[in-house]
Each structure stands twice: as structure tokens, then as C-alpha cells.
Amino acid sequence: MSSKFAAPKGVSEYLPPRSVIFDYICRGLRIPALAAGYELIELPIFEDTELFTRGVGTSTDVVSKEMYTFEDRAGRSLTLRPEGTASVIRAVIEHGLDRGALPVKLFYQGPFFRAERPQAGRYRQFYQFGIEAIGSDDPYLDAEVISIAYHGYRKLGLKDFELQITSLGDSESRFTHRRDLDSLISRLDLDEETSQRAQKNPLRLFDDKREEIRIAMSSAPLLLDYLSKESRENFDQVKAALDSLQIPYRVNPKMVRGLDYYTGTTFEFVHKGLGAQSAIGGGGRYDGLMEVLGGSKLSGIGFGLGIDRILLALEAEAKSGQSLPGELRYVDLYVIGLGDKARSKCFTLVDSLRKEGFVVEQNFGNRAIKGAMKAADKSGARFTIVLGDRELQSESVGLKEMSTGAVTSVRLDALAKVLAEKSSGLKKI
């Protein structure tokens, strides 16, 4: 009988075996962040609505069209978090983290929410992994943040992606550029909605998908050509630092990010296998955001990586012949017990092996040996043992390697040692 209940439209759910890949991504992205000294911060799922209207910007589609906002019982306006940076900055200010050692280096992950039109790679509940480094405007920090994302993707096995970078300059650069950009836009025949969007943030027209707008903007002045001396030197240092790490990139002077707080170094990772929704992550510097949210005058830089999009990118690469990491569950050993005494021994044996760090499953119920072996095969276990009265008496078992069918006789008290030896060099997800 089918249930009358279903997940809300536009929510990304992950069930086995696909959830294994999801978990693989989450754990893999943490590794380069932890190696660089970033620490975990857990954020609220909902915040004061004003945090996002002030922090993200009223001209953004995120704030004007996509936020899930509601009133609580006390009449306070709350919003399900649409992004992570504003929440991190709020937490840093509220708990005084900026009064300690700088930069403050944090990472987070979890679900975020935007009322978007659901489509492949664009969900109403989606998942991100992000980092923020607050309290330094050193260009080497910009390069470090970018490198953490880059090495995270590489660690997951992604290959067909491209890093695009640009600089949005300082306030002087943006003021001079906007004057000339506004002059060009004022001569265009725009509909009312597009005109209002351009008044709030004219850079958004560079991201307009309509052919007539794309043609009109092809001759528009580029912000990179208006960078002040200091901004240009900073951007050149970021590029030189990336070059020193041998991280390839392409300068994209027309890059548009969806949030208004970006300044200076800005970047995006795009994947060739995802079609229109090609971005798999991005970020940039947000000097001034701390002050806007009531904190001290500290600069910051960070990124948000789309876990859903990364998973789709891994699947796209798998279709082109590359392996899909984490596709099978990782199980070291499947233990089959035959008879009451053997099942009792299996239960304690499995527990002891798990304490040694092995991933071990066992059969439950009174399955016949044929059904139990089928379950062992479906589990993806690398090895299987069958424990019955004969094995109990001899205190040894046949350790079967599932991929080859080879069987090795092993004493029960040496099973952990043999498993360790046979598993050495094998990569766990």
C-alpha cells in the first residue's frame, strides 16, 4: 500500500546507496579544511529575517524572491537560512570570536533553503559545505581559501571542472565603473523589471540569459579595467599565489555572483557535465560585511560548495567512463552464523572486530546458507566467513575473498590481524 505522504517538492533526499556518495562528499570536503586549521561551527537553521535582508542584500533574488520567512508565536520574523556567511558573521560578532587570534577560520555544512523553481541541480532544500576566514586581507589567505575548495574537489575525484576568478575591486574601483556602466545601461531599451534590477545592481545584467541583453552588454565596460592600483596589485598577488600552487584558473571579467556582499577576489567553480546549472561552488571576499551586521571593521573571505551539485558532477563523470567513488558500501567482513551457539559467538566476534576499527555486518534471522551468502554479496563486503559447529570446534574459519572466491583458513583469534594485513593499501571511502 502506497503512502499518501511524500517529501515536499524541490527537496533533495538521499537514500542508500546514493547516500553513501553524499556522505563521501561531506567527509572528503572536510579534509583539506581541517588540514588548514579550520574548525567546525554549527549554525541555526533559522535566523532573524533582518540578518539576511541586511547581510545578503535586498537587491538579490535570494532576499526579494526566494526566502522562506515566517512569524513565530511571539510575532518575530524568522527566515530559514538561505546561505551561511551572514550566520557565521553574526555568530562571530555575538560570541566575540573576532577578539581572539586572527584570522578566525571556521567551516560548516548542512541544509539551506530557497524558494526556487525546482530543476536538476537547483533545489528548495539543498546542502552546502562552506568555510569562512575572518580578520585578514592578505592575498595569500584568498589563495588558501580557493586552494581548499580546489583540493577538496580533487580529493573527491572530480576532474572536469574549471576555476574562474575575477576581482570586484574596492569601493573606489566600483564607483568609477558603475558611473560608466550606468551611462551605457541608461541608453538601453529595458523592460521595467530589468530596469529596476539594473538600478539595484547593474552587474546582474552580465548574467542575463536573454540574447538581446547579452548582445547589448557585450560592449559594456568591465570592472577589471577599473581596478585601483591597490586592488590590481592585490589581484595580481592572488593569481601569483595560485600559480605557485599550480592551481589552474581562468580570469572571467563578467562573473556575477548571486549575493551583494562580495568585494575584491571573487571565484566560482563550474563543471562541464552539468549543463545550465554548471556552478558547483564559489565564493569571495566580503570586506565591509562585519560592519553592516554591527561588528568591527574586519575583512573576510569564504566559499560555499554545493554538495548536491558535486554529487551530480560525480555521476556525470561516471557516465563518461570514470569510476564513481563511494558507489558501493564499504564493508570489510560479512559474518554468517549457523545455529544458536554459532550465532551467539558471531555476535561477540562482530563486536570485537568493530572495536578494532573494521566495518562488519552479520546475518540476522534463521536464513539458510544460500540466502545468507546472497545477503553477503549484496552488502559489498570484501570478505565473508561462515561460522558453524565445525568452525566452533576447530576455532578456525575460511576467510573468503568475495572478488576472487579465494578462501584462506584463519584461526578466530588471528582474524583481526589477517583482515588488517589483507586490507592494507586498500582505500576506504
Torsion of CA 393, 396, 398, 399, to 10 degrees: 140
- The label of the residue with cell 545455529 reads 339
pLDDT value of position 261: 78
How many angstroms from the chain centroid is the CA of residue 74?
A: 35
Note the CATH architecture for domain 18-170+228-319: 2-Layer Sandwich (3.30)
pLDDT value of position 386: 95
Tell me the CATH number of domain 331-423, given options 3.90.950.10, 1.10.10.10, 3.40.47.10, 3.40.50.800: 3.40.50.800
- The label of the residue with cell 566580503 reads 286
The residues, ordered by sequence, that sit 6+ positions from 104 with a Cβ below 8 Å of its Cβ are: 92, 97, 98, 132, 133, 134, 135
Cβ 284 vs Cβ 223: under 8 Å: no
- Find, among 44, 24, 36, the residue nearest to 107 by Cα: 36
pLDDT value of position 325: 61
- Find, among 33, 11, 10, the residue nearest to 305 by Cα: 33
Strand partners, 281: 269, 305
320 class by beta-carbon count within 10 Å (0-12 exposed, 13-18 middle, 19+ buried): exposed
- The label of the residue with cell 570592472 reads 223
Each of the 429 residues of the chain gets a pLDDT tens digit; together they read: 567 899 999 998 999 888 989 999 999 999 999 999 999 999 999 999 999 999 888 777 788 889 999 999 999 999 999 999 999 999 999 999 999 999 999 999 999 999 988 888 889 999 999 999 999 999 999 999 999 999 999 999 999 999 999 999 988 888 888 898 888 888 887 888 778 777 777 877 887 778 888 887 888 888 999 999 999 999 999 999 999 999 999 999 988 776 677 889 999 999 998 987 899 999 999 998 999 999 999 999 999 999 999 999 999 998 866 666 655 567 899 999 999 999 999 999 999 999 999 999 999 987 788 998 999 888 889 999 999 999 999 999 999 999 899 999 999 999 999 999 987 655 444
- Find, among 177, 178, 198, 201, the residue nearest to 189 by Cα: 198
Query: The whole model's pTM is what?
Result: 0.87
412 class by beta-carbon count within 10 Å (0-12 exposed, 13-18 middle, 19+ buried): middle
- CB atoms < 10 A from the CB of 420, how many? 13
Indicate the domain borders of the chain: 18-170+228-319, 331-423
pLDDT value of position 321: 61
Q: What's the order of all strands across the beta sheet hosting 69-71?
A: 46-48, 77-80, 69-71
Residues in the chain: 429
